[in-house]
Chains A and B, each alone.
Chain A
Amino acid sequence: MLQVRFLFLGRVNMPSSNQRVSRHGRRSAARHVTPTLRQAFATQWRVIYALMMREIHTRYGRENIGFLWVIGEPILFCAGVAIVWTAIRPSHEHGLQMTAMIVTGYVPLTMWRHVVMRSVKAYEVNSSLLFHQLVTPFDINVARSTLEIFGTILAGALVFFGSEILGYMPAPQNWWLVYVGVFFLVYFCYGFALIVAALSELSELLEKAVGILTYVSLPLTGAFAMTEWIPARYQFILEYSPLANCIEMIRSGEFGIAVVPHYSILFLLASCTLQFLVGLYMTQRIRPHIKIS
């Protein structure tokens, strides 16, 4: 009796069984096969958005503050360092306020490091997503990087305004330099993430070494010192580091004429673009090397 009832219930929301289901219309897979350029962009956006939402749910779950942890992680890091350094270091270094130095240096550094950490083996751990033919490694990488970048920018803004309200940090002298500096920082991070993700897929060694490498390369990021402070014959090293260029630019906006900045917009534009193109090329070719679990 129970069996019969269930069978009946099962039939209710199904059309009569001899009716053929059309393979056209919105549910059809065929409409994704030969997209126009506009449709292709729309698909790419949909996929990246879907991946970001999925990432938020897997990483932060739905409990307590949930997706706010996107901001929470970097803010704990940046605020923690800013507070500790403000407390234990002299209030000024080379005439610049310590808190302002930390905020302008640590926020970009956090963004870069988090993006790098997120992109190590990003494709292998997400290989189940590649079951869907519309999802590409590029989408996966962009989704993950975007979350980190978005989170760090919000966290950075909160730490910055917090310090400013509490009087530990003056407002930037030139907002535009800060904006352009952050723009190049974001550009740099996207490109860097593409390369790290591809290389970590190819080499186990690199996967293990990434943590160490980001740590060892801390001096090259220019997060703790300004290029002007180091001996003139070594300055070229930081001048060839895109990340250091970004931070110099942001600091130049923050401190105005109090600092002698070493950055070149032309160099940033060229190096970030070149890096992004190399990253794109590698991402295009990485697909056969991804191990599917």
Chain B
Amino acid sequence: MERSVRCIGLSKSFHVGKERRLILDRINLDVKEGDKLGLLGRNGAGKSTLIKLIGGVEQPTAGKIVKGMTVSWPLAFGGAFQGSLSGHDNLRFICRVYDLDYKETLDYVEGFAQLGKQFYDPVKTYSSGMHARLAFALSLAIEFDCYLIDEVIMVGDARFTKRCEDELFNKRSDRTLLIVSHNMDFIRSTCNRTVLIHQRKIHECFSVDEGIDRYHEL
């Protein structure tokens, strides 16, 4: 099977009260292996929804997603972690679910996230930066072909950003990334392709710079 993620005629609508709100309308997207794809668009355009659909968290209303590679869960604020549990408990849960070696994973995550003692505190007490560190460390403990990153990378401090760059862009430079961000400098330096989500449709851009220009014109 081809190593890609293909969205075919993908639609998603939510029920808001009695009304049905269409977020994505029959979009097609082909993510090839090694793509560093930036998803651009205004707030509420459906970027996070698309990420959740691709990550298998939300189910499409119509259309389908053909996955030829393994896709991580969406790395975002909220979701994926149980707030009342500590980072360590969340790690043990992930080790059990994905059948990882506990000791090895613990070493890796503690080394990468560097949360110190707070690793044993409930996740809901974490700052957004700490949350991001934990989310990254845990998802990098599993080797996915494609990582879905929803904003979360930008909140880390300089040292953490450096680490992420090393882990994601150097050691895993062969992997596919889907990145949602409003930080255009980050998009420019990271992505080799951008698409624009606007008014329920997806617009392919010919270059990263064109995508960024169109984003600014929205």
- The chain A residues found within 8 Å of chain B, CB to CB, are 6-7, 10, 13-15, 17-30, 32-33, 43, 46-47, 49-50, 53-54, 57-58, 128-135, 287-288, 292-293
Interface membership of chain B positions 132-147, coded 1 if the CB is closer than 8 angstroms to chain A and 0 otherwise: 0000000001111100
A54 in contact with B82 (CB, 8 Å): yes
CB-contact partner of A27 in B114, B142, B171, under 8 A = B142
Determine whether the beta carbon of A21 is less than 8 Å from that of B171: yes
* A24→B8 CA distance, assembly (Å): 29
B119 within 8 A of partner (CB): no
CB of B38 within 8 Å of the partner chain: no
Given known contacts A29-B142, A50-B96, A134-B97, A57 and B172 CB-to-CB distance under 8 angstroms: no
> What CA separation (Å) do A289 and B92 show in the bound complex?
29
Q: A41 → chain B, closest Cβ, in Å?
A: 13
Interface residues of B, count at CB 8 A = 46
Question: Which of B69-77, B189-197, B201-209 is found at the contact surface with chain A?
Answer: B69-77
- Is the beta-carbon distance between B58 and A292 smaller than 8 angstroms? yes
Contact of A30 with B145 at beta-carbon distance under 8 Å, contacts A6-B159, A20-B173 already known:
yes
The answer to whether B55 touches A131, judged by C-beta atoms less than 8 angstroms apart, is yes
Considering only residues 66-111 of chain B, those with a C-beta below 8 Å from chain A are: 70, 72-74, 78-82, 84-85, 89, 92-94, 96-101, 105, 107, 111
Q: Can you pick out 23 interface pairs between chain A and chain B where the beta carbons lie within 8 Å of each other?
A: A7-B159, A10-B159, A15-B171, A17-B166, A21-B143, A23-B144, A26-B101, A27-B105, A27-B142, A29-B72, A29-B98, A29-B144, A47-B97, A49-B96, A53-B92, A53-B93, A54-B85, A57-B85, A128-B79, A129-B82, A292-B58, A293-B78, A293-B79
* Contact A288:B59 (CB < 8 A) given known A33-B70, A50-B93: yes
Interface residues of B, Cβ cutoff 8 Å to A: 52, 55-59, 61, 70, 72-74, 78-82, 84-85, 89, 92-94, 96-101, 105, 107, 111, 114, 141-145, 159, 163, 166, 170-175
User: Do A131 and B82 form a contact, CB below 8 Å, given A20-B174, A46-B96, A292-B57?
Assistant: no
CA distance A19 to B172 in the complex (A): 9
The reply to whether A23 and B145 contact each other, CB–CB distance below 8 Å, is yes
Q: How far is the CA of A286 from the CA of B105 in the complex (A)?
A: 33
Contact: A54 with B89, CB < 8 Å? Answer: yes
Instruction: From known contacts A54-B82, A132-B73, infer whether A292 and B52 are also in contact, taking CB-CB under 8 Å.
Output: yes
Tell me the complex Cα distance, A20–B82, Å. Answer: 32
Are A18 and B73 interface neighbours, CB within 8 A? Answer: no
Least distance between A29 CB and chain B CB atoms (Å): 4
The listed residue with most A CB atoms (<10 A of its CB), out of B92, B100, B114, B142, is B142
Is A132's CB under 8 angstroms from B82's CB?
no
A126 to B92, CA, bound (A): 17
Chain A residue at smallest Cβ distance from B95: A50
Q: For the complex of A and B, list the 3 residue pairs with the smallest distance between their C-beta atoms, beginning with the closest.
A: A50-B96, A29-B70, A288-B59
Question: CA A99 – CA B56 in complex, angstroms?
Answer: 52
State the Cβ distance, A208 to closest chain B Cβ, in Å.
Answer: 18
Contact A131 B97 (CB under 8 A): no
Q: How far is the CA of A170 from the CA of B73 in the complex (A)?
A: 56
